[in-house]
Amino acid sequence: MITNATRQRSLRGHKASRPSPRAANTAEHQAMLAWRLTPRDKWIIRMLWEHRVLTSHQVTALAFPSFRSGRMRLRELWTWGVVDRFQPFVTVGTAPMHYVLAPAGATVLAAEDGRDVKEMGYRHDRAFAVAHSLRLAHTVGVNEWFTALVERARYREPSEDVALTAWWSETRCARHFGDLVRPDGYGRWQHGDRQIEWFLEYDFGTEALAKLAGKLSGYAALAQATGITTPLLVWLPTSKREAAARRVLARAWRELDEPHRVPVATAAAELLNPEAPHPSPADEVWLPLDHAADDARRRKLSTLLDTWPHVAPPSDNGGTSNGPTSPVSMPPPCPMPPGTSKPSRR
C-alpha cells in the first residue's frame, strides 16, 4: 500500500545458500561412473528415458526399500549429472521433485546400446521441456498408474505370483501405432498362469467424451491391421465421469464394423480402497463395456479375459522385448527393477 510502505529491512531476503557442485560430463567423469553406477542406477536411467519424467515418490516405489534411501541415491545421481530435477509450482503444499534424464546419464545409456547420443535422439533442452509442458500432469498420472502396479507386485503376498511384465510409454506407442491411434500406454499383467495385455486411455477429466469415444475407430483399425485383439482399458477420475463415458463409449462401440475386436473396460480412480495397503488398477474395479445386463460385477485386472473368451492371452514371445506386434530393435526396460527383493514394510 502506498500509505503503508514496506520497510527496507523487510525486503532483505535470506542469505543465498552455496549451490551444490555438480560434476561435468567429461571422459574422466564417465570413467568414474563406470564403477559407481549400479544395475539399479542404469535401470532408473532407462526408465527416465522411456517415460520422460518420474517423481521422487515414483522412483522410490519402483526401485527402493524406503523413501530415505531413494532420496539419498537420487541426490547422488543428480550430483553426478546422471539425472536432472525440477519442482513444479503448486498452489497448495509442495510438489515432489520431478526427475528427468541428464547428459551424463544419456551418455551412459547411449554407450551401453552402442550408439551416439545424437543417434539416440537425446537433447538436454527437450528433456527439460516436460517441466513446462501442458501435459506434465497427464504424463505423471499415467506413470503413477503403472507405478501402482509395480508396487503392488513388489509387495505381493508370498503365495501370490503377480508381476507387471511390460510397460510401454506413450512415446513408444506413438512410434509404433501413431498412424492409427496414440494410446497413453501399453502393459501386460501376469497373475499366476494368467496374462492379460492392454492399451490404456488415461482420462484426466478434461477431454471431451466424444473425442475419447472417437478413438475406438482407431483401435478397431489397429486390430484389423495387426490381426491381434488387444483390450482397451479406460481409466477415469470419478464414478460420475465413468458413467457418462460409458454411455458415449457404448454408442460408438456399437457402431464399429466388428465391435468384438475392441474389448473395452472402464474403471474410476475413486473406486480404489484408500485404506488398502497398496491399492492399484489390479484391484476389482473394472467393468467391461459389453457386460450382460444381469452381470454388472466389477472384475480384477487378471480376470477380465473371462469376460472376453474370444481374446487370446498374449503369447510368450520373450517378455518385454516384444509388444503387441513384432520385436523391436531397442526394447523398453523391464518394468521391474533388477535384483530388488521384497521391500520391508518399515
Q: Of all helices (H) and strands (E), which one includes residue 266?
A: strand 264-268
Whether 287 shows a pLDDT value over 90: the answer reads yes
Domain boundaries, given as residue ranges, for the chain: 23-132, 136-321
Helix (H, G, I), strand (E, B) or coil at 90: coil
Mean pLDDT of 297-305: 94
Cα distance between residue 10 and residue 12, in whole Å? 5
pLDDT of residue 3: 53
Architecture of domain 23-132: Orthogonal Bundle (1.10)
Helix (H, G, I), strand (E, B) or coil at 336: coil
Q: Of all helices (H) and strands (E), which one includes residue 163?
A: strand 162-168
Q: Of all helices (H) and strands (E), which one includes residue 196?
A: strand 194-202
Q: How confident is the model at residue 119 (pLDDT cuts 50, 70, 90)?
A: very high
Cα distance between residue 279 and residue 269, in whole Å? 10
pLDDT of residue 56: 97
Cα distance between residue 100 and residue 53, in whole Å? 5
In tens, the pLDDT along 137-186 reads 999 999 999 999 999 999 888 888 999 999 999 999 999 999 999 999 99
pLDDT of residue 92: 86
Tell the residue number behind the cell numbers 537420487, with chain if given: 74
Between 238 and 319, whose confidence is greater?
238
pLDDT of residue 217: 97
pLDDT of residue 322: 45
Cα distance between residue 167 and residue 204, in whole Å? 20
To the nearest 10°, the Cα dihedral for 176, 178, 184, 186? -30
Average pLDDT, the chain: 88
Mean pLDDT of 95-114: 96
pLDDT of residue 21: 73
Q: How confident is the model at residue 316 (pLDDT cuts 50, 70, 90)?
A: low
Strand locations in the chain (E):
54-55, 83-86, 98-101, 162-168, 185-191, 194-202, 232-236, 264-268, 287-288
Bridge partners for 189 per DSSP = 164, 196
pLDDT of residue 319: 40
pLDDT of residue 327: 38
In tens, the pLDDT along 2-36 reads 555 545 454 454 444 556 677 788 999 999 999 99
Whether 116 shows a pLDDT value over 60: the answer reads yes
The percentage of the chain sitting over the pLDDT mark of 70, rounded to a whole number, equals 86
pLDDT of residue 228: 94
With beta carbons less than 8 A apart as the criterion, state whether 164 and 146 touch. Answer: yes
CA distances from 192 to 26, 40, 160, 233 (A): 47, 26, 7, 21
C-alpha of 300 from chain center: 20
With beta carbons less than 8 A apart as the criterion, state whether 154 and 262 touch. Answer: no
Tell the residue number behind the cell numbers 474395479, with chain if given: 285
Cα distance between residue 280 and residue 300, in whole Å? 10
In tens, the pLDDT along 199-252 reads 999 999 888 999 999 999 999 999 999 999 999 999 999 999 999 999 999 999
